[in-house]
């Protein structure tokens, strides 16, 4: 029989860090039955018979939030063998409230007092022996971050679970309260050690407990007597009794440092990063730095290497032979250029040569120092320029950038020696072919049919490969976001944005789902459940997916790289466009009757700063990255197959057949795209390729990159070159904005439908997202296009200006739902 141990504690107490330390890689994530709250379970390292369940972070076992209901139901119904109650030693008084409830469940409890290193650093002290006596359970001091005390907690928890002996109660509430609890307990038909918890919950009038109990006894007499004696409701009476008990524990066990000592490091940092003036600029700078590192430097280098080598031309293992190959390739290219120049002999007016005389002299092998201008095309920038090609020898003082490295006569000698053989990288060092080349060679070897070869190489490999090529960039971004989360700065961002949100009448609670949504929109949408106000919750569900999630990162990187030269500013702007869209939508929607009302109150704890562990950061990165890779292996693969089939099959001359790249405009996908592409003409990208890419993005946002990899990946150039030719900066940014803000993927839409619990509200949310994205993209293209020359002033420009005027009017108009106080009401207030 396996041993079940539950891990319970407040948010930000270090529970996840302890869970990771206890289970390592032996953990799995799912959802609790019937709800979409995340469920984490893992096998204890070194003992696979022990199952650790990481309960959601909660403050109490009262049913105020879905997380609390889920945690309590698990403890009551599943009844684990033991509970490890992890508490934050730097904020012990608040944490002990949950502890007093856990001990009452009748389940063996082992308390792990975390962050003891910070407690000592702050000059405080906790008497573990006294704390153990005051609570009646085992108490161990630990530092989950540094890994100290974890083995002791593990051993005591297993021993407690195997003993199956509940902790003895060592405290009593007020005599009248204890009498009421005892009276209700006698009416309960259950195990003795579970009666106290249920009796207290019945006295508190906990409706969910009453529903769960088939025959809940009548406790009205005990409740009335208590409320009459204390002149208060029973829930408040019990809460007060708990805090009285906790205060007595604090007096016995905790010694705070004398006041007047210098501020902690966290306090000093917070004075800067949460400063009213500096907070927002620092936030912007940090997010720019995150996206700069992920999109323009480290992440870009890794992604470029992956796209150019792993999914491109292959690579030399450890770079062995690459220099020799580059030198040989340079000679081959120079010789080819010289021969091409001789064949073309392009001349200009300033440096004209006698073409016939030059040819005759060269053919006669005389020492002619004539040169011509040969028009070249740069494959990376698509720029054309003239290059000097010398026929007898290259002058020693020639400009290297505009002069070919080899003369015509040297080129003839070169090709005579090499017998016109092309340079094969496999002849130099240890060469590793790219994934597409390996698969293609394997398919050729088995005699694969042309259509199947096309499906696998041009469909699945091109589409999925285009997406997976951005995995390194995503992993770098996930690492940086995990560092911000684990060091404690993400909590500060919520605090900073709450201050901003409140100025516009929005709830700071809405920013928590936004932070969660940077990883994936689905849990971000579900995180809105913590918002009590129904109107605020619906508005949050509608707008959370405006923030770029992990699935949008490859798309952002592709547009920024192909059209904007890998600009970190464009990549970072995507994040702030999402935040601006959320804030502006909130302000405008709050002024409508559907969403009018005061925002929900927001209280949040700021955990102390600490250096995140390498293991925690890497684990967070891997969980997010692996989730993305799995999606690429399933949803995106199926989508790319559909895109390839509809791209390379169609009707030509009345017959249905497989098409080559020159016939793609006759494909099924082209017909569908052309039928609806006119819708996006005002946005500047009304072509069928961009249109169908946006549509496939509704299945999964990564599909945009996969679809573009198929539609723009044909020919001799790269996808980046094709995109640079297909979009201007104005239309490219418009395309980026639309796909950032429009309806999310199907999975997130499903989450919206579940959270709205109404078909009307679901379609309203999807319609608002698509309509908002459409109008913003139109304004972006038409206004930006006037400055860049991408479009001329016309009817759509007038529409764009009118939309801007209407937007600012709705943004700054007085709230019609707010009652203006009369002078008498103002004076009375």
Tell me what pLDDT residue 382 has: 57
Any idea what DSSP says for residue 601?
P
Q: Has residue 245 got a pLDDT over 60? A: yes
Burial of 124 (0-12, 13-18, 19+ CB in 10 A): middle
Contact 780, 566 (CB under 8 A): no
Alpha helix stretches (DSSP H) within 136-206: 150-163, 175-185, 192-203
Sheet holding 82-88, edge to edge: 27-31, 38-44, 47-54, 3-9, 82-88, 109-114, 138-141
Q: How far apart are CA 59 and CA 333, in angstroms?
A: 69
Any idea what DSSP says for residue 148?
B
Q: What is the CB neighbour count within 10 angstroms for residue 809?
A: 9
User: What's the token pair of residue 505?
Assistant: 């009448």
Question: Residues 307-337: pLDDT tens digits?
Answer: 778 887 888 888 888 888 888 888 898 888 8
Question: Residues 696-731: pLDDT tens digits?
Answer: 888 778 778 878 877 876 544 466 777 877 888 999
Angle at 579 between CA 267 and CA 510, to 5 degrees: 70
Q: Three-state SS for 471?
A: helix
Q: Three-state SS for 453?
A: helix
- The residues, any chain, with a CB within 8 Å of residue 238's CB and separated by 6 or more, are 173, 177, 200, 203, 204
Q: What is the mean pLDDT of residues 157-163?
A: 89
Q: How far apart are CA 16 and CA 747, in angstroms?
A: 26
Question: Residues 461-496: pLDDT tens digits?
Answer: 877 777 777 778 778 888 888 888 788 887 787 777
Q: How far apart are CA 552 and CA 558, in angstroms?
A: 10
Tell me what pLDDT residue 647 has: 80
| Orientation of helix 128-135 relative to helix 234-253, angle to 10° | 150
Tell me what pLDDT residue 823 has: 47
Q: Has residue 257 got a pLDDT over 80? A: no
Higher-confidence position of 710 and 383? 710
Q: Three-state SS for 124?
A: coil
- The residues, any chain, with a CB within 8 Å of residue 750's CB and separated by 6 or more, are 522
Q: How far apart are CA 187 and CA 199, in angstroms?
A: 9
Which residue, chain included where needed, has tokens 């080899």?
406
Burial of 119 (0-12, 13-18, 19+ CB in 10 A): buried
Q: How confident is the model at residue 561 (pLDDT cuts 50, 70, 90)?
A: confident
Q: Positive or negative CA dihedral for 181, 184, 186, 192?
A: negative
Q: Has residue 826 got a pLDDT over 50? A: no
- The residues, any chain, with a CB within 8 Å of residue 700's CB and separated by 6 or more, are 551, 631, 635, 636, 639, 745, 746, 747
Contact 684, 728 (CB under 8 A): yes
Q: For the domain covering 3-163, report its CATH number.
A: 3.40.50.300
Percent of the chain at pLDDT > 90 equals 9
Burial of 442 (0-12, 13-18, 19+ CB in 10 A): exposed
Q: How confident is the model at residue 579 (pLDDT cuts 50, 70, 90)?
A: confident
User: What's the token pair of residue 804?
Assistant: 């801007």
Model-level pTM?
0.64
Q: What is the CB neighbour count within 10 angstroms for residue 62?
A: 21
Q: How far apart are CA 13 and CA 513, in angstroms?
A: 20
Q: How far apart are CA 559 and CA 694, in angstroms?
A: 13
- The residues, any chain, with a CB within 8 Å of residue 761's CB and separated by 6 or more, are 538
Q: How far apart are CA 170 and CA 190, in angstroms?
A: 21
Contact 17, 616 (CB under 8 A): yes
Q: What is the CB neighbour count within 10 angstroms for residue 614?
A: 8
Q: Has residue 344 got a pLDDT over 80? A: no
Which residue, chain included where needed, has tokens 């109490």?
60
Q: Which of 698, 686, 679 is nearest to 743 (CA)?
A: 698
User: What's the token pair of residue 728?
Assistant: 């201007």
Burial of 537 (0-12, 13-18, 19+ CB in 10 A): buried
Which residue, chain included where needed, has tokens 């932070």?
515
The β-bridge relationship of strands 655-658 and 649-652 is: antiparallel
Higher-confidence position of 63 and 654? 654
Q: Has residue 260 got a pLDDT over 60? A: no
Q: Three-state SS for 442?
A: helix
Range scoring the smallest mean pLDDT among 159-173, 381-395, 810-824? 810-824
Q: How many residues does the chain have?
A: 829
Percent of the chain at pLDDT > 70 equals 86
Q: What is the mean pLDDT of residues 398-409?
A: 80
For 113, 303, 326, 432, 787, the CA distances from 429, given in Å and listed in that order, are 57, 24, 12, 10, 51
Q: How far apart are CA 708 and CA 463, in angstroms?
A: 8
Tell me what pLDDT residue 400 has: 77
User: What's the token pair of residue 82?
Assistant: 């033991």
H/E stretch holding 140 reads: strand 138-141
Q: Has residue 609 got a pLDDT over 50? A: yes
Higher-confidence position of 538 and 706? 538
- The residues, any chain, with a CB within 8 Å of residue 722's CB and separated by 6 or more, are 712, 713, 715
CATH class of the domain whose range is 175-255: mainly alpha
Question: Residues 109-145: pLDDT tens digits?
Answer: 999 998 888 788 777 888 888 888 888 888 998 888 7
Q: How far apart are CA 795 and CA 788, in angstroms?
A: 18
Q: Where are the domains of the chain?
A: 3-163, 175-255, 264-314+433-829, 327-427
Contact 158, 164 (CB under 8 A): no
């Amino acid at each position: 029989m396996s041993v079940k141990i539950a891990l319970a504690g407040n948010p930000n107490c270090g529970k996840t860090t302890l869970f990771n330390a206890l289970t390592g890689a032996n953990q799995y994530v799912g959802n609790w039955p019937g709800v979409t709250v995340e469920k984490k379970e893992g096998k204890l390292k070194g003992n696979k018979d022990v199952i650790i369940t990481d309960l959601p972070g909660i403050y109490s076992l009262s049913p105020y939030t879905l997380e609390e209901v889920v945690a309590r139901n698990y403890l009551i119904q599943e009844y684990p063998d033991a509970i490890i109650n992890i508490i934050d030693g730097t904020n012990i008084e608040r944490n002990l409230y949950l502890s007093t409830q856990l001990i009452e469940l009748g389940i063996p409890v082992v308390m792990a007092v975390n962050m003891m290193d910070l407690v000592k650093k702050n000059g405080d002290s906790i008497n573990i022996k006294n704390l153990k006596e005051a609570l009646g359970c085992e108490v161990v001091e630990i530092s989950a971050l540094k890994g100290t005390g974890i083995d002791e907690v593990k051993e005591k928890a297993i021993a407690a679970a195997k003993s199956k002996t509940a902790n003895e109660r060592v405290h009593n509430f007020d005599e009248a309260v204890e009498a009421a609890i005892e009276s209700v307990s006698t009416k309960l038909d259950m195990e003795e050690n579970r009666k106290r918890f249920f009796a207290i919950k019945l006295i508190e009038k906990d409706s969910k407990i009453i529903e769960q109990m088939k025959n809940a006894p009548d406790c009205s007499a005990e409740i009335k007597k208590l409320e009459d004696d204390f002149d208060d409701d029973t829930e408040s009476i019990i809460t007060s009794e708990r805090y009285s008990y906790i205060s007595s524990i604090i007096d016995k066990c905790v010694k705070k440092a004398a006041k007047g000592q210098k501020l902690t490091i966290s306090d000093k940092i917070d004075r800067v990063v949460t400063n009213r003036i500096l907070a927002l600029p620092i936030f912007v700078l940090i997010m720019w730095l995150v996206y700069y590192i992920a999109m323009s430097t480290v992440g870009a280098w890794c992604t470029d290497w992956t796209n150019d080598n792993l999914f491109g031309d292959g690579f030399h293992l450890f770079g062995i032979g690459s220099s020799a190959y580059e030198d040989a390739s340079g000679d081959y290219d120079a010789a080819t250029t010289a021969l091409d120049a001789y064949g073309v002999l392009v001349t200009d007016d300033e440096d004209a040569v006698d073409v016939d005389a030059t040819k005759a002299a060269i053919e006669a092998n005389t020492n002619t120092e004539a040169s011509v201008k040969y028009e070249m095309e740069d494959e990376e920038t698509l720029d054309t320029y003239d290059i000097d090609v010398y026929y007898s020898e290259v002058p020693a003082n020639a400009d290297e950038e505009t002069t070919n490295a080899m003369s015509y006569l040297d080129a003839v000698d070169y090709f005579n020696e090499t017998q016109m053989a092309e340079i094969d990288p496999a002849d130099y060092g240890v060469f590793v072919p790219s994934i597409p080349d390996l698969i293609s060679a394997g398919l050729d070897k088995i005699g694969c049919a042309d259509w199947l070869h096309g499906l696998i190489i041009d469909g699945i490999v091109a589409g999925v490969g285009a997406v997976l090529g951005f995995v390194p960039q995503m992993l770098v971004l996930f690492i940086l976001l995990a560092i911000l989360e684990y060091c404690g700065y993400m909590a500060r961002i919520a605090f900073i944005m709450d201050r901003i949100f409140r100025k516009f009448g929005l709830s700071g609670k809405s920013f928590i789902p936004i932070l969660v949504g940077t990883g994936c929109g689905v849990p971000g949408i579900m995180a809105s459940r913590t918002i009590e106000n129904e109107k605020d919750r619906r508005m949050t569900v509608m707008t959370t997916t405006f923030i770029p999630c992990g699935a949008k990162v490859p798309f952002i990187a592709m547009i920024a790289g192909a059209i904007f030269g890998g600009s970190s500013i464009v990549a970072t702007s995507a994040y702030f466009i999402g935040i601006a869209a959320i804030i502006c939508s909130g302000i405008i929607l709050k002024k409508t009757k559907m969403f009018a009302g005061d925002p929900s109150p927001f209280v949040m704890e700021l955990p102390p700063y600490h250096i995140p562990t390498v293991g925690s950061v890497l684990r967070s990165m891997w969980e997010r990255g692996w989730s993305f890779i799995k999606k690429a292996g399933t949803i995106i693969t199926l989508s790319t197959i559909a895109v390839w089939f509809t791209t390379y099959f169609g009707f030509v001359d009345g017959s249905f057949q497989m098409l080559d790249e020159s016939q793609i405009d006759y494909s099924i996908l082209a017909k569908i795209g052309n039928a609806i592409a006119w819708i996006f003409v005002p946005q500047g990208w009304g072509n069928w390729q961009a249109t169908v890419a946006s549509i496939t993005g509704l299945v999964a946002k990564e599909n945009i990159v996969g679809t573009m990899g198929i539609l723009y990946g044909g020919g001799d150039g790269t996808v980046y070159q094709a995109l640079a030719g297909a979009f201007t900066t104005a239309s490219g940014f418009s395309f980026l904005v639309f796909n950032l803000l429009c309806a999310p993927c199907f999975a997130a839409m499903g989450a919206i439908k579940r959270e709205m619990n109404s078909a009307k509200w679901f379609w309203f949310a999807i319609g608002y997202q698509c309509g908002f994205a459409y109008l913003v993209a139109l304004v972006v293209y038409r206004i930006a296009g006037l400055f860049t020359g991408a479009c001329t002033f016309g009817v759509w420009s007038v529409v764009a200006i009118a939309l801007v005027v209407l937007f600012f009017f709705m943004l700054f108009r007085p709230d019609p739902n707010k009652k203006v106080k009369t002078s008498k009401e103002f004076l009375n207030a």
